[in-house]
Amino acid sequence: MAIIISDDDVRKHLTMAECIEAMDVCFGDFAEGKAKTLPRLRYRVDAPDDPGREYFANVHVGAVPSYGMACVRAGSNMLAKSSAPGRKTTSSPDSYNWTVITLYDLNTAEPLAFLHESHLSGVRVGATTGVAVDKIARDDVAELGLFGTGRQARANCEAICTARPSIKRVKVYSPTQENREAFPGQVPLEGVEIIPVESSEEVLAGVDIVCSMTNSTKPTFDGNLLQEGQMVISVANSDVTLKRHEVDETTFERASDIVINDWESVVTNQQTELLDMIERGAVDQDRVVELGRLCTGEKTVKQSNENIVYYKNNTGLGMQFAAAGAVIYNKMKNDDTNRVVPREWLAAEDYP
């Protein structure tokens, strides 16, 4: 029987530290050719009955043998078309997130669970950032500068501070004063002071790690203001549905190394902010390293006092959901209170 795993179950059964470990394993498996994951598929269609909205599909597939788990994440949402310059479209306020993750047993092919993905989606992005910080950042980093106050900003802030407990201070900026002032109460981190600031320049000044987790389609800071010795992290990426440039070209040019999750996704999803710079010679592709190669130890990229390292959390991958989902499922599978879907409801008829 397959079980139902809600957002509340994810909160209860998956810590950030556990998810960071799961991402480390799956990206290592991927680099060694064990895990399978395909670039995500996204498309948009205008809503037939409402010109102000559009249907948005977001699909991931992947499998992680170390966890014995495969998954299909089928995203289904309605988006409100944005009229604000420099902002991507956002979820329509009167619609639900219908996205569901299905987990499959790699040994039997049987469906094991159906997960709500809303909370897990933010956690696995943050946890993947946590892996990058663990592999790249100096051990003594003490201050984080954060752009953004939404779900991804909260998860990435928690992940970075989990990967580097040496961080004692976070400066956070949002163009909306109310959001940045509310942020400290939304991310309870023991022993970490979170300070709202009023400009992007204040975020950058003196910090060890700069992290941009926003819905902006334009650069959130001037790469000329970066200081040697900083690690830069961002999540926004161009794809076939939307062109985004959360980090400017100067940041790409100044980085000694650019770490990404998956090169195939750069090409397949047309992540032009990186591809265009490589094509015209502004960025040498040899400077671009996949995260999994750091997880296996095949490559080493380290933040020092003399360089700028850029981690571009460039895509979500199905294997992330398979690995994190397995951790949750293994904690819940024997619980007598689980909501279940009978096996016979899911089995396709077996033709001779």
The domain segmentation of the chain, as residue ranges, is 2-120+317-346, 129-312
Q: State the chain's mean pLDDT as an integer.
A: 92
According to the per-residue pLDDT averaged within each range, which of 53-67, 77-91, 227-241 is highest? 53-67
Per-residue pLDDT averaged across 153-168, rounded? 97
Distance of CA 129 to the CA centre of its chain: 7
Per-residue pLDDT averaged across 209-224, rounded? 94
- The tokens describing 66, both together, are 């170390």
Tell me if 75 sits within 8 A of 55, measured CB to CB: no
- The tokens describing 283, both together, are 């960025």
- Provide the pLDDT for residue 94: 55
**Superfamily for the 129-312 domain:** NAD(P)-binding Rossmann-like Domain (3.40.50.720)
For the stretch 64-86, pLDDT in tens is 999 999 999 999 989 888 644 44
For the stretch 13-28, pLDDT in tens is 999 999 999 999 999 9
**Does the predicted TM-score (pTM) go above 0.85?**
yes
For the stretch 82-119, pLDDT in tens is 644 444 555 545 556 789 999 999 999 999 999 999 89
Distance CA 215, CA 177 (A): 16
Q: Residue 236's pLDDT band (boundaries 50, 70, 90)?
A: confident
What residue has token string 């549905």? 241
DSSP symbol at 306:
S
Distance CA 337, CA 339 (A): 7
Residue 233 has pLDDT above 60, yes or no: yes
Q: Which residue has the higher pLDDT, 272 or 330?
A: 330
How many other CB atoms sit within 10 Å of the CB of residue 43? 12
CA terminus-to-terminus distance, the chain: 24
CATH of domain 2-120+317-346: 3.30.1780.10
